[in-house]
Amino acid sequence: MKVLVAVKRVVDYAVKVRVTPTGVDLNNVKMSMNPFCEIAVEESIRLKEKKLAKEVVAVSIGPKQAQETLRTALAMGADRGIHIETDLRLDQELQPLAVAKLLAKVVEAEKPDVVVLGKQSIDSDAAQTGGFLAGLLNYPQATFASKLDIKDKTATVTRETDAGVETIEASLPLVLTADLRLNQPRYATLPNIMKAKKKPIETKAIADLGVDITPRIQVVNVVDPPTRKAGITVPDVATLVDKLKNEASVI
């Protein structure tokens, strides 16, 4: 069995972003692998460690630096990387539908049994790519996965729902998107980081894949969210209760 895992380079989750009218300022900002993609990589590697998968291929679409993101996936345990190079901004210019169409081309070429993605990227917060990809390929989808079992070409997946969890079953090939609770991603060790430098990364040009990547959604402007007016610190519970009753009138 072969696993394809898609990883995205995004602004690090701990960065407080600065908003400009055309979009978030990406200059000199720390970038990292999207946290949900780390979980996706971890799950892919676990399939290999369980001897269910023979090979894990990591794919990333992005600028030259996306290769660092791929190296991280390789250091965690992926076998090889595919880099689809673009200079478009990944938070607004290269959009999920285009990404899914590009990934579909990779899937057609690589023929993986399971495609693993994160449930959403923390920059555009769209939560769409996995669903698009499954739809384009007409594969079953298991989104927001918190548990995956594969046996005899059938996947049993526990999904996080609004009210709890549900379990679904689907045959492979399958598209899975990882939720937070799927696993705890490992840290890449120094020896593995060194080994990862020798693993192959194949670079592809978008133009060669024959996909229309024209943005469907145009960003008119980007603004800061409304700021809240400064609050006060109350000295004790009695004052708090008084304020809630008489000032805020919420209790």
Partner 1 sequence: MFQTTLRTLSSRVTSRFASTLVVAEHNGESLTGGTLSAITAASKIGGDVTVLVAGSNSANVAQAAASVQGVKSVLHADAAQFDHSLAEEITSLVVTVQKASNFTHIVAPSSNISKNFLPRVGAALDVSPFTDVLAVVDENTFQRPMYAGNAIATVTSSDAVKLLTVRPTGFDKAATTGGAGAVSAAPAAPVAGLSRFVSEETSSSDRPDLTSARVVVSGGRGMKSGENFALLNTLADKLKGAVGASRAAVDAGFVPNELQVGQTGKVVAPELYIAVGISGAIQHLAGMKDSKTIVAINKDGEAPIFQVADYGLVEDLFNAVPELTEKI
Q: In one letter, which amino acid is 211? A: V
Asked if 63 interacts with partner 1 (CB under 8 A), we say no
Q: Which of 47/139 has CB closer to partner 1?
A: 139
Least distance to partner 1, CB of residue 133, Å:
8
Instruction: Name residues whose C-beta falls within 8 Å of residue 71's C-beta, 6 or more positions apart in sequence.
Output: 81, 193, 196, 197, 201
Among 27, 28, 162, 200, interactor with partner 1 by CB under 8 A: 162
Q: Which residues within the stretch 178-217 sit at the binding site for partner 1 (CB under 8 A)?
A: 179-181, 216-217
Q: What 3-state DSSP class applies to 226?
A: coil
Least distance to partner 1, CB of residue 4, Å:
17
Cis-peptide, bond into residue 185, ω within 30° of zero: no
Instruction: Name residues whose C-beta falls within 8 Å of residue 51's C-beta, 6 or more positions apart in sequence.
Output: none
Report the candidate in 198, 191, 187, 215 with the shortest Cα–Cα distance to residue 92: 215
Among 1, 52, 88, 170, interactor with partner 1 by CB under 8 A: 170
Strand partners, 6: 59
Least distance to partner 1, CB of residue 46, Å:
18
Q: Which of 56/117 has CB closer to partner 1?
A: 117
Least distance to partner 1, CB of residue 113, Å:
15
Largest CA distance in the chain: 68
Q: Are strands 141-151 and 154-160 parallel, antiparallel or unpaired?
A: antiparallel
Asked if 246 interacts with partner 1 (CB under 8 A), we say no
Asked if 27 interacts with partner 1 (CB under 8 A), we say no
Query: Taking the chain, what is the end-to-end CA distance rounded to the nearest angstrom?
Result: 58
What's the rounded Cα separation, in Å, for the pair 12 and 65? 14
Give the interface size with partner 1 as a residue count (CB under 8 A): 81
Instruction: Name residues whose C-beta falls within 8 Å of residue 108's C-beta, 6 or more positions apart in sequence.
Output: none
Q: Name the residue with tokens 């081309």.
A: 105
Least distance to partner 1, CB of residue 139, Å:
7
Q: Which residues within the stretch 96-155 sit at the binding site for partner 1 (CB under 8 A)?
A: 96-97, 100, 119-120, 122-136, 138-144, 146
Q: Which of 172/188 has CB closer to partner 1?
A: 172
236's torsion region: left (phi>0), alpha (psi -120 to 50) or beta? beta
Among 151, 205, 208, 233, interactor with partner 1 by CB under 8 A: 233
* Window 5-24: contact mask with partner 1 (x via CB under 8 A): ------x-xx-xx-x---xx
Least distance to partner 1, CB of residue 100, Å:
7
Least distance to partner 1, CB of residue 39, Å:
11
Asked if 172 interacts with partner 1 (CB under 8 A), we say no
